[in-house]
Structure 1
């Protein structure tokens, strides 16, 4: 097709196929042919609903909404006859993963294929190809399509990321010229920050299949487990100078829990893609990049669930047309390749149907055998002082159809107390045995040293929960069908003060509500005991005296705060304690924080989005976003704290303005590479460890692997903490697992009390790290703070808010906000 030529259906669709004229084409609904403009999500929804209303091959389902209230649609496509028995087909299919399906007649069962598009919103050829795929499946006529629909149930997810797609489509359509511009320097190809890759809170949703923290993920994971599809395709784009990639990826980078048969079948499916691309003359490659290690990606999550995940990556036009090493890449060309891969997937599924169905059944049979042989019969996890955090891990397990049980009574295992109501038991002998292993395992030995994503995600460590293996199920209580969040209440009838501990995950939410109401609150700098209850560092006291509310109004308000924050608040009748009394100067007043965050060019949007989400969705604390474009005009004096997410540098005028603000009393909190920026610009002086590896004997061919092996892509390391320091208030152990994906190593401060968090002598808990970097990490410090003028500088070398599921270290940021004056 000529670069400036208008696209047409004949360019995309298979030849020698007739189409039902009563089925509306995309152009008849959208007002333009596929590929002329980038489809916006509202138009995509409009076409899918119109198509479903016109075809007895399609039913449509609205599974919820994004953060921006866009619908999360799913089309179920199969023959009309199958639709009449769709629930029976689903149940029979899922039975293959259970013992009840041991004798199921596979020869008569349809295969189930989940086809999903554009989880990265600015990789838009996928969702635009979904228009064509839906039309083809609804309108194509003949024996070939009849055989496909009879033997296949297609779960068509036209857009994994509605918010991001809408943002990107608006950008490139606004900047499209009548006579298309292919110059890569044109503004069309340079999206404004934060760009359309991510969802509303700037998350990369192709990392959330396992944590399931976002509404888009929850919808698709529910669909996945409801159907247990045999193949799941994930359509992406990559750099404009690339061609087309399909899996398998690099063989040595497959997770060891993934059976070899999975990779063999993926390779056989790849022959269908190759044949289809050979036919249309499109370049492609396979097995040379990407991996199948982290189970939180769309192409890898299916592999630990008895399915086959397939990644497609198309060299992107990033707009409507762009120059590349392979000539002009047009948007219609990219769409056609994605559509071609969709059809070749369905062709492979139809022809390999019985083989793939048998593989699914065998996967779960083998998993049950493995489970029956394991000496560890269950995992127990919990936190006696933080029921909410344990609940949220249990919530993830339930979303993955993993059976969990209450514990019958409080129990101590290996010296750790597990409390009923704040602990759970996970039997290992169940259908999701392999997924349970993937969630709980700690792994430090690897076949390869390069990872496309993180190398560790051990969930109890991410949540900073105690966990142990159990040799029997004697401590397991009833299985939990309806998991309920921990309750909270106001206890006691005292009229002197109200107390709540800082250990619970939602304690910061409660404190924020209390301060926003105008109530004074103080924090205990030392432990104490009152009315036979031991209160730890960081306990919050709300005195009754001199408040804006009277006692009864305070009771009513604090009762609602307790319930909303899933914690208990106790009304006490005396200030006399064992330890510091409630009127002691060791109770420090807490100011009401007014927090801002620097965003925009130069800031990593992922890191910023995680912080925004934490404040807005979890703790309901207002967070002002300060864009670097307008920083010079902003009045910073209204903010007590400014957070600086990951950045390498900022313009001089922004740096000077931040310096003056800190000197005048502000607290700046820097993360990851912002730590280097703050040190280089004299906000704080840090002693960085010198790194570097001898490369004199490394060949040109080996250079990438050599350098890549020094990257810490994401692993978990142990620290020892000083619980008396305000940065660690709320933690009950002397150790804290930290997630790290940087090679910023800071030597400890000469004063021991300035090193309240320090990596241990043997810090590696789970994941890959080179021997050299492990040596650098030992006894280094991820946190430092210093006074500057009347203000304070706080630095974290590590991301304490990673991907919204690193619950275990979220409180470090909250401590830096509420308790910075006490440091």
Structure 2
């Protein structure tokens, strides 16, 4: 009878009858449910699987469960950029709820080697974090969350009682509210009453930028380590409040796939992940396999996906004494879609997620003490690993970029890493660190593995393939002075408590002549833009000069900003008040000067160039790399309060660009810009505009005569070598640069490099689009060194080609400039070092003379 019911249900869905998916389709049979707990359809008005839940419906239902069930408490742990609430439900027995703070404190003590020795895990509840749909257009997770939450709130009987007694479930039902809302609106709006399964249907083809990402088009599943977004910061704080033993991350993959659960590819496991972690992951996987076998669902494991990059929800737990589990369900991307495995129906995708959510909880019960003991030993072993490590800690920080130090400190503290003020001035590896502006992170602490994940550089790998990037060393990304320590003895000052953004100040009394500030601080563009917005005029030094400051001669480098007092729309007193306020807010120190006489160029020299306030247009739309474009949008809007105007590339064909002086074209294809749009961009450049092109956008600029960039090619030396047929994909992918860190030589005198204090700078790149160095030596302010690899993977052939190639090329066009970045300088919002170069292109592209 059961088989007949499933067959009838399948036929109804396939042939388009208005099927109603009963809740029993997802839930264990032969259980009773508390009638006082509403089913999802009682609150949202439809059965799960019949259409897609929106985020507001998820919030409404979860709040109702928390109101009516004594098993559930609910907190709001963050808000998205679009002000949607991110909820975390704590689900456990009513008795546990009464003692929840005591249970939490005891559980967290397992991660403290100083306390854990006295703890026994025999009767301790296990903590399981279940998270759903970090990618908004992977909806089976968030829809499954509705079913799982109902079960945990309403199911009756000895089995559920035992589960809730022995488990604290931290339930994150909708990780990406903005993406979820965007996707559900699209698919529900394009659904036919009689379901259409043709993959060409509009229902399955979201418009750009699609709903995978958050408001700024970021992939939140890459942000667990960088922590650049509201959603991630709130989630990590909740994670460390509890330190769960298992974390599940429910995703979707291509429509023609089946179901994946970890472990991933064994050879791609990060070396910081202990072997026992993968063994326990495989043991948990046996529970998933059994559960999926019972519903005849196809699955695979140890293929395609890996456990390498710790910025993902399924891998971050691996360096925090927990087991991270990735689930990847084949996606219907709508309500029912044709696939190589037959018509893939949305309710079936939801059922697989529900099934593995339940199998996770069964594994937690069966392995409870084993997983608790693993957590205890993981943190105890941190001390042993630290003692065996030749690197005893890390030192970083400098006086010339305090705001970047702040951002790194903020990340470290959010990861529960102890940081200390440097006790005394120190010289390490030929670098000088000052006690007031440098910090020390000792390796010997509970978060040893996370420290290594953030600071270490790896260049040797067992496997040359990566699901994500191969390197992310934070001090390199921040371009901050740092060094490894062979000893921390005598270097540890006071432990840092709360980290505060540095305040800038006016270094003297009011001036009636001019104010100057250096460009090395990251937020210098912010104060400059705020001044320009007030109608003030400003100038930038294109050569160095020096003046006495506090009785000593101080040199100011190229890129120093001057704000004259005379000729401004504000009176001297008003300008003084404004600059004082902005200096404090942005962390910039501003120096009043009372004379134009200096050593080097004088303040009235023609080598001080006028700066226009940037009026930036960001080209968006189909073909554009949404992640890269979103990173530009986020940088300008969130960091500098100077949001770009977002314009679809097709609209370039019909608008005037006279309102703008900067255009940004992120990586992507720009095929919808026709000759009219090309002519308008050329007119924009001839009139003195700046065009910033990144990645493959440079192929478009070259093809349309705006630049003359040539690309290097990698020649295979063994193209005729014998290869097994089944290795062709691996061989091809091994030649791709998966995301690694490289060293570049920088011309500090070039406007693109203003504020950079070193002659070399780390850059991030992925892919093989490498620029030939132009014949004009002044047109390439950034070039790869002869030994470029700093961290990550690159094939020997690719590295040989990359040597000496150009990372940035500046090309003149009329009175304008095209600034070409070979790769993305704003990667995932934490590449502060090269974002500085990007902001220089925004502000100083107009001052560049000459070019390729």
Q: Write the distance in 1 (CA, Å) between the matches of 2:489 and 2:33.
A: 59
Q: Write the distance in 1 (CA, Å) between the matches of 2:387 and 2:98.
A: 39
Q: 1:56 aligns with which of 70, 79, 85?
A: 70
Q: 2:691 aligns with which of 668, 679, 682?
A: 668
Q: Which moved more, 1:321-330 or 1:743-752?
A: 743-752
Q: Write the distance in 2 (CA, Å) between the matches of 1:629 and 1:142.
A: 60
Q: Write the distance in 2 (CA, Å) between the matches of 1:582 and 1:411.
A: 36
Q: Say yes or no: does 1:695 pair with 2:719.
A: yes
- Structure 1 contact 598–626 (Cα < 8 Å) conserved: yes
SS at match of 1:660: helix
Q: Write the distance in 1 (CA, Å) between the matches of 2:37 and 2:494.
A: 52
Give runs of aligned pairs for residues 210-229 of structure 1, distance below 5 A.
210-229=225-244
Q: Write the distance in 1 (CA, Å) between the matches of 2:578 and 2:627.
A: 36
Q: 1:560 aligns with which of 577, 581, 602?
A: 581
CA deviation after TM superposition for structure 1 residue 659, in Å: 2.8
Q: 1:659 aligns with which of 682, 689, 692?
A: 682
Q: Write the distance in 2 (CA, Å) between the matches of 1:337 and 1:376.
A: 45
Q: Write the distance in 1 (CA, Å) between the matches of 2:190 and 2:391.
A: 59
Alignment-derived partner of residue 612 in structure 1 = 633
- Structure 1 contact 742–797 (Cα < 8 Å) conserved: no
- Structure 1 contact 377–473 (Cα < 8 Å) conserved: no
Alignment-derived partner of residue 669 in structure 2 = 648
CA deviation after TM superposition for structure 1 residue 822, in Å: 2.1
Alignment-derived partner of residue 231 in structure 1 = 246
Alignment-derived partner of residue 721 in structure 1 = 746
Give runs of aligned pairs for residues 58-97 of structure 1, distance below 5 A.
58-97=72-111
SS at match of 1:785: strand
CA deviation after TM superposition for structure 1 residue 95, in Å: 1.1
Give structure 2 stretches of 5+ with no counterpart.
1-8
CA deviation after TM superposition for structure 1 residue 665, in Å: 2.8
Alignment-derived partner of residue 5 in structure 2 = none
Runs of 4+ aligned residues of structure 1 deviating over 6 Å after TM superposition are: none
Q: Say yes or no: does 1:523 pair with 2:540.
A: yes
Q: 1:577 aligns with which of 581, 598, 623?
A: 598
Give runs of aligned pairs for residues 485-500 of structure 1, distance below 5 A.
485-493=501-509, 494-500=511-517
Q: Write the distance in 1 (CA, Å) between the matches of 2:622 and 2:480.
A: 37
Q: Say yes or no: does 1:19 pair with 2:28.
A: no
Q: Which moved more, 1:712-721 or 1:363-372?
A: 363-372
Give runs of aligned pairs for residues 89-238 of structure 1, distance below 5 A.
89-99=103-113, 100-238=115-253
- Structure 1 contact 439–457 (Cα < 8 Å) conserved: yes
Q: TM-score, normalised by structure 2?
A: 0.95
Q: Write the distance in 2 (CA, Å) between the matches of 1:375 and 1:39.
A: 52
Q: Write the distance in 1 (CA, Å) between the matches of 2:194 and 2:437.
A: 63
TM-superposition CA deviations, 1:271-325 (whole Å, max 9, x none): 1111111111111111111000000011111111111000000000101110111
Q: Write the distance in 2 (CA, Å) between the matches of 1:293 and 1:611.
A: 27
Alignment-derived partner of residue 780 in structure 2 = 755
Give runs of aligned pairs for residues 368-407 of structure 1, distance below 5 A.
368-407=383-422
TM-superposition CA deviations, 1:25-72 (whole Å, max 9, x none): 101000111111110100100000000101000000011211000011
- Structure 1 contact 748–781 (Cα < 8 Å) conserved: yes
- Structure 2 contact 287–362 (Cα < 8 Å) conserved: yes
Alignment-derived partner of residue 827 in structure 2 = 802
Q: Which moved more, 1:746-755 or 1:104-113?
A: 746-755
Alignment-derived partner of residue 742 in structure 1 = 767
Alignment-derived partner of residue 501 in structure 1 = 518
CA deviation after TM superposition for structure 1 residue 375, in Å: 4.0
SS at match of 1:328: strand
TM-superposition CA deviations, 1:169-215 (whole Å, max 9, x none): 00001101111111110101000111110000000000000001101
Alignment-derived partner of residue 539 in structure 1 = 560
Alignment-derived partner of residue 478 in structure 1 = 494
Q: 2:651 aligns with which of 630, 642, 654?
A: 630
Q: Write the distance in 2 (CA, Å) between the matches of 1:514 and 1:421.
A: 30
Q: Write the distance in 1 (CA, Å) between the matches of 2:230 and 2:185.
A: 23
TM-superposition CA deviations, 1:360-388 (whole Å, max 9, x none): 11111111111133343321101321000
Q: TM-score, normalised by structure 1?
A: 0.99
Q: 1:438 aligns with which of 431, 439, 453?
A: 453
Alignment-derived partner of residue 702 in structure 2 = 679
Alignment-derived partner of residue 243 in structure 1 = 258
- Structure 1 contact 388–422 (Cα < 8 Å) conserved: no
C-alpha root-mean-square deviation of aligned residues, in Å? 1.2
Alignment-derived partner of residue 3 in structure 2 = none
SS at match of 2:744: strand
CA deviation after TM superposition for structure 1 residue 529, in Å: 1.1
Q: Write the distance in 2 (CA, Å) between the matches of 1:235 and 1:163.
A: 17
Q: Which moved more, 1:629-638 or 1:444-453?
A: 629-638
- Structure 1 contact 183–322 (Cα < 8 Å) conserved: yes
Q: 1:595 aligns with which of 616, 620, 628?
A: 616
Q: 1:513 aligns with which of 530, 535, 545?
A: 530
Q: Write the distance in 2 (CA, Å) between the matches of 1:433 and 1:730.
A: 33
- Structure 2 contact 544–601 (Cα < 8 Å) conserved: yes
Q: Which moved more, 1:776-785 or 1:748-757?
A: 748-757
Q: Write the distance in 1 (CA, Å) between the matches of 2:197 and 2:178.
A: 26
Give runs of aligned pairs for residues 287-302 of structure 1, distance below 5 A.
287-302=302-317
- Structure 1 contact 376–472 (Cα < 8 Å) conserved: no
- Structure 2 contact 49–346 (Cα < 8 Å) conserved: yes
Q: Write the distance in 2 (CA, Å) between the matches of 1:370 and 1:702.
A: 37
Q: 1:767 aligns with which of 769, 792, 796?
A: 792
- Structure 2 contact 689–846 (Cα < 8 Å) conserved: no
SS at match of 1:366: helix
Q: Say yes or no: does 1:38 pair with 2:52.
A: yes
Q: Say yes or no: does 1:812 pair with 2:820.
A: no
Give structure 1 stretches of 5+ with no counterpart.
none
